[in-house]
Amino acid sequence: MTILAELRNTEAKRSKSAHKLADYILRDPEAVLSMSIATLAGEVGVSEPTVNRFCTGLGLKGFPDFKLNLAGALARNQGNITRNIEPYDSTSHVVAKIFESTHAALSDTQNQIDNTAIEQAVEKCATARSIVLCGLGASSSVALDAQHKLLRFNIPVIAHTDLINQRMTAAGLGPNDVLICISYTGRTQAMIEVAQLGRETQATVVGITASGSPLAHYCDLVLAVRANEDTELYTPMTSRIAQLVIVDVLATCLALKQGPEFARHLGKLKQSLTMTRKDK
């Protein structure tokens, strides 16, 4: 538990001056970071040793240790502010910004995730006759990744990254099949048509795409990925990371649904891979 939560905890039995201290600190924790024990004591109207006792009472070594903890707690709260990459950025700047924006994309996706849609998709996949994954361009590697993950299950799964193959397969599906269409923008005409074809066969069409997009419109279930407009020149494609994490969620939920018997199956599977590895 963070120190801020500790301070907020009113249940803790505290002395009068301890209360005054907690109140004051919570009012502006940032400011406390640049105060000495003397100034804080003066501001609150207590003596220095009282402040010290307050800190040790919290299980910390002393006032400096308290400030360290407070700094940590505050750091956790402030979010990731994404900044654009500029042409003159150094390598370390680029690294920092890319990681920042990836973190931000993840948080965004998590915030708008629809648990019900995921549960329904898992339900459909678990009982599906076959699962077909479709992706074009950047999304094709996501489709292949999903294929790799879903291969572990005993359900026939295939990823198509070729438009012709996608159309052929989509047109030949049936009511018990699941078609998963992956597109960042949800505006790729070709992928929309694939979804339409799938729809006509009564297969369940799942979209891993931007909510509200044209593609989403033709899907039975939408696993939403936030779409930030890719206007900046050097913006990394954080969206596919988000798509992959959605795939992770789908695959993991599916694995859990299979129950304990499946856990043994997974074990055997891992076993079969060990012999391709160098022991070191």
Q: Which positions touch DNA (CB under 7 A)?
A: 15-18, 36-38, 45-50, 52-53, 55, 61-65, 67
CB of 5 to DNA, least distance (A): 21
CA dihedral 69, 71, 77, 78 (to 10 degrees): -170
**Structural element, H or E, at residue 159:** strand 157-160
Question: Is 266 a binder of a second copy (CB under 8 A)?
Answer: yes
Using CB under 8 A as the binding rule, the residues of this chain from 155 to 194 that contact a second copy are 185, 187-190, 192
Judge whether 47 and 39 are in contact, CB under 8 Å: no
CB of 92 to DNA, least distance (A): 20
| CA gap 4, 28 in Å, rounded | 11
| CA gap 160, 167 in Å, rounded | 9
Determine the interface stretch with a second copy among 20-28, 45-53, 60-68, 164-172 (rule: CB under 8 A): 60-68
For residues 24 and 262, which CB has a smaller minimum distance to a second copy in the complex?
262
Cα-based distances in Å from 139 to 35, 130, 250: 52, 20, 17
Binding-site partner at residue 196 among a second copy, DNA, none, CB < 5 to 8 Å by type: none
The pattern of x and - marking residues 192 through 231 that bind a second copy according to CB under 8 A reads: x--------------------xx---------------x-
CB of 43 to DNA, least distance (A): 12
CB of 6 to DNA, least distance (A): 17
111-142 core/surface letters (b: 16 or more CB in 10 A; e: else): eebeeebbebbbebbeebebbbbbbbbebbbb
For residues 1 and 164, which CB has a smaller minimum distance to a second copy in the complex?
1
